[in-house]
């Protein structure tokens, strides 16, 4: 009887183990991230047990869609995902990260997670005081040049993820990093068509750090300020004509009418002289073509890297024939830099289009923003 009882107990326990309910993963998202109002290049799906970040348009004409599974630390021991279904599986919130563009820095700082940044290629380009302080104290390592990141140092740092960007998808360094088991997420913010769409990519960092609500609130505040400034610009009774760009060798490069720069000028209620062009990327024109069309422009915005009127004159004496040069109505962001020369506009301009728009309104319609001090753009002396 004792032997029978032990056998019965053993069979009972085995049967209970086999029939105990197991963790079943949701195969369909319980909620689609519906707070993406402008951005087209990524999406976030919530499967309850984990989330999926999808990067749809990481570079121009990209045919590859990247999918990343994001699992919270609490759920990580309880579920198993097929690695072949994803380009990376990450445990959130992220504790160690490497980003590769200064445009990624504001996303970290706005969420107060800049302390998780452990490496960056080209630290001198970083202008932010908060992140520069971390660089100066050695918390953020130099990783060399963006085209050839020092993978030896990066692998020593062992970040949980690298935020990269691609021009055409050909990057051997990123391939090697992924082969080492570190996921690379391609940030396609720069591909977005509108200024607010670019700024909305803060929500990518929000989901990586489990700070979705904070990221959403930050973006809503930026969007609200932007739209309010746009409505103020509509009150202007005149529309100054605007020229942009400058010569590089024998070609004058300037934004096309489909660019975010052109959209910003339109929202500032300015008449950008090339707003009707539809080319992708920048326009490439001759000096003669630009002079014929824009020699009488009221304002000249972003004349390449020239820091003064004298520098513009020395570069090409023909520049002095433009009305904007004669009146001194030339404005640039190159003079607003960090301690090591990093240009603040290149770092923050994409994340804070509300500030860029206010700068342009101040330039084009100073009477509408009398008390506003421009953040990026300064008039050249």
Task: Decide if 41 contacts 55 (C-beta within 8 A).
Answer: yes
The neighbour count for residue 68, using CB atoms within 10 Å, is 21
Task: Encode 197-236: b = buried (16+ Cβ within 10 Å), e = exposed.
Answer: bbbbbbbbbbbbbebbebbbebbeebbebbeebbebbeeb
Rounded to 10°, the helix 260-267/212-233 angle is: 50
pLDDT (0 to 100) of residue 4: 36
Count of alpha carbons within 13 angstroms of residue 372, beta-carbon side: 23
Tokens of 13: 């326990």
**Among 359, 378, 349, 330, which residue's Cα sits nearest to residue 233?**
359
pLDDT (0 to 100) of residue 24: 44
Helical ranges in the chain per DSSP H: 2-19, 105-110, 129-136, 151-157, 172-179, 195-199, 202-208, 212-233, 260-267, 287-294, 309-315, 323-327, 344-348, 353-364
The neighbour count for residue 240, using CB atoms within 10 Å, is 19
Task: Decide if 244 contacts 329 (C-beta within 8 A).
Answer: no
pLDDT (0 to 100) of residue 353: 98
What number of residues does the chain have?
381
pLDDT (0 to 100) of residue 313: 95
**Among 224, 271, 278, which residue's Cα sits nearest to residue 255?**
278
**Among 208, 127, 199, 163, which residue's Cα sits nearest to residue 356?**
199
Spell out the long-range contacts of 114-118 with Cβ–Cβ below 8 A and sequence spacing 24 or more: 115/139, 116/209, 118/157, 118/159
Burial label, 249 (beta-carbon count in 10 A; 0-12, 13-18, 19+): exposed
Q: pLDDT 10s digit of each residue in the chain, 381 long? A: 344 343 333 333 334 333 333 344 555 555 555 579 999 999 999 998 999 999 998 988 888 899 999 999 999 999 889 999 999 999 999 999 999 999 999 999 999 999 999 999 999 999 999 999 999 999 999 999 877 899 999 999 999 999 999 888 788 899 999 999 999 999 999 999 999 999 999 999 999 999 999 999 999 999 999 999 999 999 999 999 999 999 998 999 999 999 999 999 999 999 999 999 998 888 999 999 999 999 999 999 999 999 999 999 999 999 999 999 999 999 999 999 999 999 999 999 999 999 999 999 999 999 999 999 999 999 999
pLDDT (0 to 100) of residue 22: 36
Three-class DSSP category at 197:
helix
d(CA 2, CA 13): 17
pLDDT (0 to 100) of residue 19: 36
Task: Decide if 132 contacts 158 (C-beta within 8 A).
Answer: no
pLDDT (0 to 100) of residue 16: 39
Q: Sort strands 241-244 and 271-272 into parallel, antiparallel or unpaired.
A: parallel
The neighbour count for residue 21, using CB atoms within 10 Å, is 5
pLDDT (0 to 100) of residue 29: 57
Q: CA of 207: how far to CAs of 213, 242, 347, in Å?
A: 9, 39, 21
For the structural domain made of 234-379, what CATH number should be given?
A: 3.40.50.1980
Domain 31-223 has CATH 3.40.50.1980: yes
Domain ranges of the chain: 31-223, 234-379
Q: CA of 214: how far to CAs of 34, 89, 105, 188, 202, in Å?
A: 15, 23, 16, 21, 10
Q: Sort strands 42-46 and 97-99 into parallel, antiparallel or unpaired.
A: unpaired
Task: Decide if 320 contacts 368 (C-beta within 8 A).
Answer: no
Query: Mapped to the 3 state alphabet, what secondary structure does 135-165 carry?
Result: HHCCCCEECEECCEECHHHHHHHCCCEEEEC
């Amino acid at each position: 009887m004792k032997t029978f009882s032990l056998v019965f107990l053993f069979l009972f326990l085995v049967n209970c183990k086999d029939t105990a309910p197991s963790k079943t993963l949701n195969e369909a998202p319980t909620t689609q991230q519906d707070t993406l109002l402008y951005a087209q290049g990524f999406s976030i799906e919530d499967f309850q047990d984990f989330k999926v970040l999808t990067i749809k348009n990481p570079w121009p004409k990209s045919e590859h869609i990247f999918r990343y599974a994001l699992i919270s630390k609490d759920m990580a021991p309880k579920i198993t995902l097929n690695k072949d279904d994803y380009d990376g599986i990450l445990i959130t919130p992220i504790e160690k990260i490497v980003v590769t563009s200064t445009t990624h820095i504001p996303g970290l700082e706005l969420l107060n997670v800049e302390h998780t940044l452990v490496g960056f290629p080209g630290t001198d380009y970083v202008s932010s005081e908060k992140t520069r302080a971390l660089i100066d104290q050695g918390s953020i390592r130099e990783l060399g040049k963006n085209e050839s990141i020092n993978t030896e140092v990066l692998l020593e740092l062992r970040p949980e993820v690298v935020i990269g960007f691609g021009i055409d998808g050909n990057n051997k360094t990123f391939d090697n990093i992924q082969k080492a088991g570190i996921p690379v997420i391609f940030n396609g913010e720069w591909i977005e068509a509108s200024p607010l769409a670019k700024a909305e990519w803060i929500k990518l960092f929000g989901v990586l750090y489990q700070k979705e609500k904070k990221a959403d609130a930050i973006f809503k505040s930026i969007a609200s300020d932007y739209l309010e400034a746009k409505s103020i610009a509509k009150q202007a009774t005149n529309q100054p004509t605007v020229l942009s760009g400058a010569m590089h060798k024998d070609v004058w490069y300037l934004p096309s009418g489909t660019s975010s720069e052109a959209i910003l000028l339109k929202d500032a209620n300015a008449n950008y002289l090339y707003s009707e062009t539809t080319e992708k990327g920048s326009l490439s024109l001759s000096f003669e073509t630009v002079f014929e069309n824009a020699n009488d422009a009221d304002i000249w915005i972003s004349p390449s890297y020239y820091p003064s009127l004298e520098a513009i004159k020395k570069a090409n004496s023909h520049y002095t024939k433009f009305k904007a040069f004669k009146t001194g109505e030339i404005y640039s962001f190159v003079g607003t830099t960090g301690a090591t020369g990093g240009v603040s506009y290149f770092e923050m301009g994409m994340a804070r289009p509300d500030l860029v728009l206010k700068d342009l309104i101040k330039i084009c319609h100073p009477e509408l923003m009398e008390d506003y001090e421009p953040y990026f753009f300064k008039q050249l002396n």
